[in-house]
């Protein structure tokens, strides 16, 4: 895989600082039952990196210490980590909102037959990857047969009450572009998704999140191999909107990798650009060894600290804006 990091670090992206911290986004590991082309963590069935119980317990201590309101679990397929259910259960005991970033097909895998029941019992919000409502586009991005599996999984979630009005079980879908272009307007695309999925499969969901593809990891490598990297960066920079700076997710979120090291966002994590709050280093001075562990942030206040930026940050501020909660304009 070709590394995009050297092409991204020298950047003129504006300085931003952290506001109040309320969300902890945790990557539980890179093990996944799929290998999607747009995956910015290059997850797959052969990855072995998984967060252990000791690190999970440190996360729970941090949640208590910082009064974290939202725990956002990602991967890989986060459900494949053996500590997934323990972490979810403990977080919900603390009345923390838990988000499971689910690829849908994991719900159909052998050994995960009770997963939907577990998610529902703990009122976990499911954010499910569904890059299109058409079979061809989904299978092209995620692999042959994934579309049919995703439809089956969505129907399984609906049958449990997910996505249904007044059920209290939230089901949101995620759209990623199928190539080097920006997502269409989120509101209109959501209407299209709801119409198509309901008319064809009686599927209901709450919201659609449109998320811009980042020019890093697997997607960045594809761009480089096709000679499209610089054109895509030009597209992101050309669509930059200063209005999005106040709403980017890194202002209220930190990202934790499977070993417990801390980053300003999931994308910085994949680029090995660690949190700089304790070192006082600027982004140009950072080295991959300058890592801060979550255990070092107990009793620390991150508000007002510099956020490490690079050229990929233009992906979050282009056009309607992009975050793990979808378009910034719709937030």
Polymer length in residues for the chain = 331
Distance CA 165, CA 198 (A): 14
Distance CA 131, CA 232 (A): 19
pLDDT level of residue 284 (50, 70, 90 thresholds): very low
- Domain locations in the chain? 5-317
Cβ burial of 287 (10 Å; 0-12, 13-18, 19+) is exposed
| pLDDT tens-digit map of 105-120 | 999 999 999 999 999 9
Q: What is the per-residue DSSP string for 207-223? A: EEEE-PPPSSHHHHHHH
Distance CA 53, CA 68 (A): 19
Residue written as tokens 């079979």? 135
Averaged over 42-65, what is the pLDDT? 94
β partners of residue 74: 27
| pLDDT tens-digit map of 183-195 | 999 999 999 999 9
- Report pLDDT for 283: 41
Contact call for residues 178 and 196 (beta carbons, < 8 A)? no
Between 148 and 4, the more confident residue is 148
Q: How much is the mean pLDDT over the chain? A: 89
CATH fold for domain 5-317: TIM Barrel (3.20.20)
| pLDDT tens-digit map of 259-270 | 999 999 988 998
Taking the model in full, what pTM does it have? 0.90
């Amino acid at each position: 895989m070709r590394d995009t990091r050297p092409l991204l670090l020298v950047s003129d992206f504006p300085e931003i600082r952290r506001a109040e911290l309320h969300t902890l986004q945790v990557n539980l590991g890179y093990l996944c039952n799929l290998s999607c082309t747009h995956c910015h963590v290059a997850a797959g069935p052969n990855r072995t990196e998984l967060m252990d119980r000791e690190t999970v317990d440190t996360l729970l201590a941090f949640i208590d210490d910082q009064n974290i309101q939202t725990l956002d679990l990602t991967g890989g397929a986060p459900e494949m980590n053996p500590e997934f259910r323990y972490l979810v259960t403990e977080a919900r005991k603390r009345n923390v909102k838990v988000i499971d970033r689910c690829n849908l097909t994991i719900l159909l895998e052998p050994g995960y037959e009770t997963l939907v029941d577990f998610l529902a019992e703990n009122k976990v919000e499911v954010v499910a990857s569904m890059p299109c409502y058409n079979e061809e586009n989904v299978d092209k991005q995620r692999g042959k047969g994934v579309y049919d599996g995703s439809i089956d999984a969505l129907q399984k979630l609906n049958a449990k009450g997910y996505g249904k009005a007044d059920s209290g079980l939230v089901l949101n879908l995620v759209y990623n572009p199928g190539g080097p272009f920006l997502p269409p307007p989120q509101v209109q695309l959501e209407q299209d998704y709801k119409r198509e999925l309901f008319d064809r499969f009686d599927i209901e969901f709450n919201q659609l999140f449109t998320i811009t593809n980042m020019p890093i990891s697997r997607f960045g490598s594809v761009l480089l191999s096709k000679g499209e990297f610089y054109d895509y960066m030009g597209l992101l920079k050309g669509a930059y909107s200063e209005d999005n700076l106040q709403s980017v997710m890194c202002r209220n979120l930190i990202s934790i990798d499977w070993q417990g090291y801390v980053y300003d966002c999931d994308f910085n994590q994949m680029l090995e650009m660690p949190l700089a709050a304790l070192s006082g280093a600027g982004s140009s001075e950072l080295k991959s060894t300058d890592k801060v562990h979550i255990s070092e942030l107990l009793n620390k206040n991150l508000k007002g600290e510099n956020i490490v930026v690079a050229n990929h940050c233009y992906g979050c501020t282009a056009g309607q804006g992009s975050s793990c909660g979808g378009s910034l304009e719709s937030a």
